[in-house]
Amino acid sequence: MKQHLTITFIFIIALLCNSVNVNAQSGITPKPLYEELQKGIFTIKKKTAVYTNLEGEERTNMLSFLKESSLKISKKGKLGKKNTISLLLVEKSEEFPSPESYQLSITPAKITISATNGAGLFYGVQSLLQLANQNEDSRIIKLPASLIKDTPRFGYRGLHLDVSRHFLSKEFIKKQIDMMAYYKLNRFHWHLVDGAGWRIEIKKYPLLTDSAAWRPYNTWKEWNKNGKLYCTKENPKAKGGYYTQEDIKEVVAYAQSRFITVIPEIEMPGHSEEVLAVYPELSCSGKPYVDSDFCIGNDSTFTFLENVLTEVMELFPSKYIHIGGDEATKKGWKNCPKCQARMSSENLKNVDELQSYMIHRIERFLNDHGRKLLGWDEILQGGLAPDATVMSWRGEQGGIAAAKASHQAIMTPGEFCYFDAYQDDPSSEPKAIGGFLPLKKVYSYNPVPDSLSSEEKKLILGVQANVWAEYIPTPEHMEYMIYPRLLALSEVAWTAPERKSYTDFYERALKAVTFLESRGYNTFHLKDEVGERPVSLVRENHLAVGKKVIYANKYYHNYTAGGDSALVDGYRGGWAYADHRWQGFIGKDLDVTIDLGSSMTVHSINADFMQIIGPGVWMPRNVEIFVSEDGITFTPIKQIDNDVPENKEELVFRDFGWEGNAVARYIHYVAHLNNKGGFIFTDEIIVK
């Protein structure tokens, strides 16, 4: 596993970190493993030349890149000459633990970048560019003499963009690839198809781009609310688009020249409404606009998928092909004669195993063509395909389960890696699907769970940021959600944990925002950051803190907020229900009784609830509050009806409480489920 730390590499890290000059800060992001400031200055002049022993296409690409970069160096030089930048491939050694490792030496006379691979040289150039861009306002670029030795923590460092829900031009994609390369990310996960639109030309199935790529609505929200209909490009209201195969080749080549691998995602079996609308014979019902899952009992489904994947593999040389595998409803399969016949003939016990059958079959097809299957963590359901790699998004459990089963995994949990969440006070931000993921939280993530053994930890290939576009209708909005959070993710993915410091990173991120904006990127204004919900920052002291809570209905296992004591621990929730402070109930009332331990005078009972309708979180229909001295006879003291509209899309907080005078030992608090169902969340029941 070249991308993981060997025993030798661990020794090198310890040696370098112990000897590092802590006062030497290059300002490079992601932060290098070792930095040493030395004496003197190297000045880039008109006569500055470049020498490299790279050959072939890599040489051509590198020289072209340097010429077009802010360094604007095109003159060819000779090895060892003064005022020359030398890019040197060297023999493999312990000093270069990874093909992406590099060393950058700047002296007053010359600059030397060394690596064992073109990728390492390219990342050394990115560090050089960052140093140069720090004083680009000067007419002459002067670089302090220094020595940098660097290597990545993970071999997989990714960004995922959803272009199905809102189409993004190939120029926009290439623009993001530029910045991925600048911050040393090396995997672009292209979410090309989903229910909202098919975005890749497949010559064997023209209806996918003639119709399934277009809809008579400008935004995903409008489409989602109005029947999820598609149309042809000729429709005057048509919105959408797709990439021709030539577009795909252009983007893939552009990414390759920057040492970025493009991984395509072709969704199956779920999220396939767009396919089944134009090829309904591949669905269980055989009718358009009925099903969202492929019919797995139908051999024509596999013919279609294999034909599509054949064309996809011709366009993408990546080792991995992502097949989705997430959030299949599986509804049609239970009553579909073809699916039931498949289950019988294959001795499958349930629909989870039916999905697993499909995943196994597709994996065999990919393996036969020299590729590997990558899928979201639902591919674990019913049994994981033999050689599959899991992308863990529903927390870390999928990645942990995969590693414990000796499978490789990529960590991308929503709590830390979903950039479609708000990054600041939601009232001051563009609409998002929900959640709260500030820069600091992204930076805090450690993709290697402590629960894994040393051997299992080696199976964690890396980490990825995901940007889903339901609530991101424009390119400007997309960039706003990406930057500067992507910089934090890059440092999580590249930098050794012992070298990380959020204080140091934050200062670099502030400068990076200015740089990004100067390059035409639309970023979140980090300097104006508000931060976390104020009430969550101070512990609330009240009469019920630490008291016993009796639950009539159990909270949802993914949102326990700490368990039975969560609603009386004194801690209020932040902007997001997934912050481990909010306790969630799905499909049932919140119904609890608090024992204060003895009778006392009570003047107020309050609890906050939230509503964010994108992920299905609603206010309670109403709240009833009762008090009792004996725990047997309860007196109602207040009913509070909800007055927040069910169609209000913004994140809303509302207090449901009572004020007055009562003597009570027991407090019975009931929040009735909204007519919409879904979740209700509260953070604390405050008694004063």
Task: Give me the active site residues, please.
Answer: 194, 271, 327
Task: Give the separation between CA 422 and CA 438, rounded to whole angstroms.
Answer: 7
What 3-state DSSP class applies to 573?
A: coil
Sign of CA dihedral 568, 569, 574, 579: negative
Helix residue ranges per DSSP H, 3-47: 7-19
* Structural contact between residues 271 and 265, judged by C-beta atoms closer than 8 angstroms: no
What 3-state DSSP class applies to 171?
A: helix
Listed residue (639, 642, 548, 562) closest to 592, CA to CA: 548
Phi, psi at 285, each rounded to 5°: -85, -25
**Sheet with 110-115, side-by-side order of all strands:** 34-44, 141-150, 102-106, 110-115, 84-89, 49-52
Residue indicated by tokens 């930095």: 35
CA–CA distance from 589 to each of 285, 572, 609, 677 (Å)?
36, 20, 13, 10
For 86, residues 6+ apart whose C-beta sits below 8 A from its C-beta are 50, 51, 52, 77, 79, 80, 110, 111, 112, 113
Q: Residue type at 57? A: E
CB neighbours (10 Å) of residue 338?
18
Q: Which residues pair with 86 in a beta bridge?
A: 51, 112
Q: What angle do CA 489, 495, 498 make, to 5 degrees?
A: 120
What 3-state DSSP class applies to 410?
A: strand
- What is the dihedral angle through the alpha carbons of 505, 511, 515, 521, rounded to the nearest 10 degrees? 70
DSSP assignment letter at 78: -
Listed residue (203, 473, 190) closest to 324, CA to CA: 190
Residue indicated by tokens 């944990």: 497
* Structural contact between residues 398 and 392, judged by C-beta atoms closer than 8 angstroms: yes
Task: Give the separation between CA 95 and CA 403, rounded to whole angstroms.
Answer: 29
Give, rounded to a whole angstrom, the gap between the first and last alpha carbons of the chain. 58
Q: Which two tokens stand for residue 464?
A: 């990825």
Neighbour-count burial of 495, counting CB atoms closer than 10 A to its CB (0-12 exposed, 13-18 middle, 19+ buried)? buried
DSSP symbols for 413-431? -HHHHBTTSBSS-GGGS--
Strand spans (E) along 437-589: 460-467, 548-551, 583-586
Residue 523 CA neighbour count, 13 Å, CB half: 26
